A and B are shown apart, each in its own frame.
Chain A
Amino acid sequence: MDINTLVKRLKKGDELAFRELVYSFSARLMTIARIYARSEEDAKDTLQDAFVIVFRKIKGFEGDTEAQFYGWLKRIIINISLSKNQRKYRNLESSLNALEIDKGFDEEIISNMTHQEIMDLIFNLPDDYRQVFALFAIEGYSHKEIASMLNISVTNSRTHLYRSKKLLQEKISFSKKIVIV
């Protein structure tokens, strides 16, 4: 698929190009949407809203590579997802009280895990942790940027990341025990 051609057709308002765009990027973008959404239905809504914004704002896109285009799409998904969840950042402390994680992160175990197992680990993190974790570990945002995006303090961002890592370690160790048993 030639991104430049696709973008040019989209800029002309070509509905077939829009259909091609949706079919080409839905699966990958849905993964991003699902990471930041609280449910699969929310993720679908986010994805649909994102494509509407893409169609409306495509004339402002000036990149010429697929990486740039995908990055732009991904950023739209993240922004929409976070804006929908912004008001739900409350009482995080209560959801953390049950977490008592003191086990180390085993790099070797992660390397040996299948793709689906890793994705299940991420998808099964609590919503608020998953978002901070994904923004920091996957998207590479700094704590200051994450704090601004999620309307939380930098301290909270650090805390959320730390606790999400701990939770992942617990889940990985637990899955390993199940395998051993």
Chain B
Amino acid sequence: MMTSVNAEKHCTSLPIRVPAAFFSCLLVFLFLASAAPAYAADNEVHFSNEFSYTFNDITGPGGDDGSSLTRGFRYLNIFGFTGNGTVKELEYNFNLGFKATDDRRNDVATFSPTNIQGRMTNKIHTVNAGDTFESFSQYSLSTAVKGASYRYFNEQKNSPEITMVYGYVLPRWDTIWGGVETQAIERTAYGMRIKQNFSPNIWAGISYVQAKDRPGTRIMSTDPIYDSNNYTVDAEYKPMQGLTFRGEFSTSRTTISPTSVEGQNEDRTHGTASRIEAVGEGGPSRVSLEYERVSTEFQSILGSATPDREKIKSKWRYTMTKNIMLNLGLLWFRDNLDGQKAYRTDSYAPEVGFSFKNLLGRQSATADLAYKYDRRFGAGNGSGISTADHMTTLNYRDRFGPVDSDANVSYTIYSTEKDQRQAKEYTYNLSLNSRHEIGEAYVLKPVLYLGGMTARDDLALETDQIYEYSFGMGFEFLKLKLNSDFRIGQNKLEKSAAGTDNSSKTFGSFNVYYRPPFLKKFNEGMLYLRSFVNDFRFSTQSRSFRENSITLGVNLQY
């Protein structure tokens, strides 16, 4: 994979297909745009197309390993076509899109569909095809599929809400027909859910989902193949205004084939997960309390769960006065529910925070102060080693005359017993920005940033220091509808450990965004230029490199 990326970096010739790709998109766009006004008044369509053309230049011996850019001229085109409306009793919407690029850092495929989706409803029956995202509940289904779903719900008769979904769980459309670079394990998802509203304050649902992988589609021989079934019930009850109870219980039966090697036994697991949550809101308080237990063998292939965990979580947000808010929280969780691990880990994470407005009588001043403690007995690695970490953060925002300020300070102590880790970190940054109008035609926006971090390792007696400073200026030419900005700066990493690299990056960027009158029809279409230079210097000179990039683009919407 990396070989092909590196090979791409050395390609600097101008691809002939670039103008063809751009003009094809433009022709489609203009055709659709010209056809749009003929559409009925109750229906609407929108198009968007962003085309950008980039030249990247990477010099220096460390460029191939260090730079994340692809050398040479590269294009990227993102096209979208959406619509919605009503035909008799049917409400519909659709969403189509594609992406084209020759930069493998943007996408492994030159041309790929992004969204293919259509949806129709008559308020009782709803059909969705293409990109389909039905979220049943946390443990059962919260994954988008390429397929279809159907929902029946008669609101006036308060009928049960019945949803069925079927599709492939694939990250992208071209996996279905694409080549080696876009292939993925073929996973099919089936699901059904019935939900009933018993009153405006109570509902309950039952769900069944199945995720099934096709064994012949493994990418690596060690990829596990799942055949998993989840049966879930969930419910919500609001006994009074401001108080909500939610609960969910799920059981899973899963067959896991660990490798393609013959003789490796399939693993059959059966697990359960349950959670209950109470949320109370009223007056100045909001309190939530949650309990969850997910057994070691529970699998949620299409939903979300952390196996082998029992947890209690609580939060209390309290508005103490008009200007002070208190946040209190505690999370406790543990593993080793089946007692199979050598050590059990218990984690306690209490936190306390205050938010202040009008601090010290200053109307523009706001501050957030928070302290978090993370105590783990066992540290979760089966070693029995415990950790105790402390983190304190302060954020202060204020306005001094024409200057807005935003300052952050944090101090963290990491402590792992048996002399495994003793470290401290200080992070600090300050940004100052301002806005100055000159007449009615121009705006100047200077920005100054100063920041840094000091990390001290008390065991190795080493200190790493990071500094960054930058200055920028934004220009707005209001009558011309042209915005521009530049920024220059430097960051440095200074290390005290022998055999490691000190490094610095000197950087500059310049951008221009212009909305010309001739693109007004395209929702204030925009032309833009973005450019930057990054000059990386390392103590080991063979790692130094410089990257220059310039991008021209046009963004049209209709």
A binds B: no
